[in-house]
């Protein structure tokens, strides 16, 4: 009996451990996306294409289904070139869907300095690492919600990718099933509210944060937007979904009053707090496990502008 109990405990411990996304994995993904070889992932470059293919490979490894057609790569046109968003979905117990998104493009290279690569570790390799981490987390798990993962292209050039993907006819039904979209935007640093916290842009426009915080585990918390005057809610990819009246907010940790790496050459691995990022990914996954279409159905307030 003791032997059986011991084996059960060991098995349970192994299962729990297997659900965790390791710091090593977080470093691996973010370091690849923010490497010098990616040359700043500017839209329309071969390196940007390589980043899209890399993200698609991670989705394939996690056995996600295609959002549309027979590929994770969803093409659109930018300045006469074919470029790609990346989208995968894991079917849950319900057609109701939670979407996790982040843009993977950055601003490329500089010819005027010794360090020529805008690596974009925080902006936004960190956000893409989060959605890949969540796909890792749920690889062997069944959730109540279906889970959609979207890596947008062209955010830096005016949210080109998110604007394109919301207009695809064959994705309209899936998009209307989205109960909420969590858009991760610059989450490599510890927020001004402390470790294991993010802030939500436009928190006054819906009750998403309140409903999420009610179920949040291990003291994970979504804080109110401290930069309301900057109108960040309307300045990232989430707004493309807002215009479709889909609940969509951006989550961030960057201190906009102190950050000296935003669109600068020093936005590289040295500024990333990998312990905090790993903690956020795992606690986010654990919280999502507790959400169901019955206990998590956020709604917009009458303050939001859909135009």
Residues 64-76 pLDDT 10s = 999 999 999 999 9
Non-local (6+) Cβ contacts of 3 within 8 A are none
- Which pLDDT does position 11 carry in this prediction? 45
- Is residue 229 assigned to a domain? yes
- Is residue 245 assigned to a domain? yes
- Domain containing 282: what range? 27-290
d(CA 131, CA 149): 6
- Is residue 20 assigned to a domain? no
Q: Which of 154, 187, 158, 156 is nearest to 259 (CA)?
A: 187
- Is residue 146 assigned to a domain? yes
Please count the CA atoms within 13 angstroms of the CA of 28 that sit on its side-chain side.
Answer: 11
Q: Which of 153, 25, 166 is nearest to 79 (CA)?
A: 153
- Is residue 300 assigned to a domain? no
d(CA 283, CA 94): 22
Q: Whole-model pTM? A: 0.93
- Is residue 67 assigned to a domain? yes
- Is residue 305 assigned to a domain? no
- Is residue 250 assigned to a domain? yes
- Identify the bridge partners of residue 151 per DSSP, sorted by sequence position: 86, 102
Calculate the alpha carbon distances from 41 to 3, 124, 191, 201, 260 in Å: 54, 10, 25, 25, 20
Instruction: Give pLDDT < 70 ranges for the chain.
Output: 1-18
Hey, what are 159's tokens? 């949210």
Overall domain count for the chain: 1
- 124 prior amide bond cis, ω within 30: yes
- Which pLDDT does position 19 carry in this prediction? 72
Helices (H) and strands (E) in the chain, counts: 9, 9
CATH number (domain holding residue 257) = 3.40.630.10
């Amino acid at each position: 009996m003791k032997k059986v109990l011991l084996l059960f405990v060991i098995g349970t411990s192994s299962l729990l451990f297997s659900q965790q996304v390791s710091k090593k994995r977080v470093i691996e993904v973010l370091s690849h996306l923010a490497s010098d070889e990616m040359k700043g992932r500017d839209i329309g470059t071969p390196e940007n294409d390589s980043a899209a293919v890399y993200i698609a490979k991670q989705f394939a490894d996690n056995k996600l289904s295609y959002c549309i057609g027979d590929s994770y790569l969803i093409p659109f046109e930018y300045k006469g070139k074919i470029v790609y968003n990346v989208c995968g979905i894991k079917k849950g117990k319900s057609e109701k869907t939670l979407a996790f998104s982040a843009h993977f493009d950055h601003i490329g290279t500089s010819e005027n300095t010794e360090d020529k690569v805008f690596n974009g570790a925080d902006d936004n390799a960190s956000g893409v690492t989060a959605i890949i981490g969540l796909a890792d987390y749920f690889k062997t798990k069944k959730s109540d919600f279906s889970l959609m993962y979207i890596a947008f292209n062209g955010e830096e050039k005016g949210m080109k990718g998110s604007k394109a993907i919301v207009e695809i006819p064959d994705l309209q039904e899936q998009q209307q099933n989205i109960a909420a979209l969590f858009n991760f935007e610059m989450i490599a640093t510890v927020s001004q509210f402390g470790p294991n916290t993010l802030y939500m842009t436009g928190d006054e426009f819906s009750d998403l944060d309140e409903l999420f915080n009610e179920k949040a585990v291990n003291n994970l918390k979504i804080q109110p937007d401290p930069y309301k005057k900057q109108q960040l809610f309307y300045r990232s990819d989430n707004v493309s979904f807002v215009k479709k009246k889909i609940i969509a907010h951006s989550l961030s940790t960057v201190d906009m009053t102190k950050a000296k790496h935003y669109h600068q050459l020093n936005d590289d691995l040295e500024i990333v707090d990998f312990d905090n990022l790993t903690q956020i990914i795992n606690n986010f996954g654990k919280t999502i496990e507790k959400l169901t279409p019955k206990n998590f159905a956020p709604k917009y307030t009458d303050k939001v502008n859909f135009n």
